[in-house]
């Protein structure tokens, strides 16, 4: 499912227009993004938790040449599925 399919599904399920569903989805993704940028986490009970974590700089290896490379520090996004989502998928 891509973003367009999700918008179609939201519009049909909620009985709203595609434009309204697009606005709602953009508001959700924007809110999650802004919260993670601040270093906070987003918990949707039954669905899961989005969080951000700092990954330290480290040394790695180029698999083709075996040469050591430096991997820069960065912030990564994590998602932990909630119990309701896990049970629904199984």
Global pTM? 0.80
**What distances in angstroms separate CA 52 from CA 20, 75, 86, one per listed residue?**
29, 7, 21
Cα–Cα dist 45/87, whole Å: 13
Nearest of 82, 55, 86 to residue 71 by alpha carbon: 55
Q: Give the model confidence (pLDDT) of 2-31 as tens digits.
A: 999 999 999 999 999 999 999 999 999 999
Cα–Cα dist 54/39, whole Å: 10
Task: Give one DSSP letter per residue of 49-65, joined into a string.
Answer: EEEEEEEPPEEEE-TTT
pLDDT band at 80; cut points 50, 70, 90: very high
């Amino acid at each position: 499912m891509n973003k367009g399919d999700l918008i179609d599904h939201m519009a049909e399920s909620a009985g709203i227009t595609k434009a309204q569903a697009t606005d709602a989805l953009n508001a959700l993704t924007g809110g999650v993004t802004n919260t993670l940028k601040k270093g906070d986490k987003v918990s949707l009970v039954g669905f899961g938790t989005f969080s951000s974590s700092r990954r330290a700089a480290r040394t790695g290896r180029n698999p083709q040449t075996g040469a050591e490379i430096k991997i820069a520090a960065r912030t990564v996004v994590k998602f932990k599925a909630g119990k309701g989502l896990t049970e629904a998928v199984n």
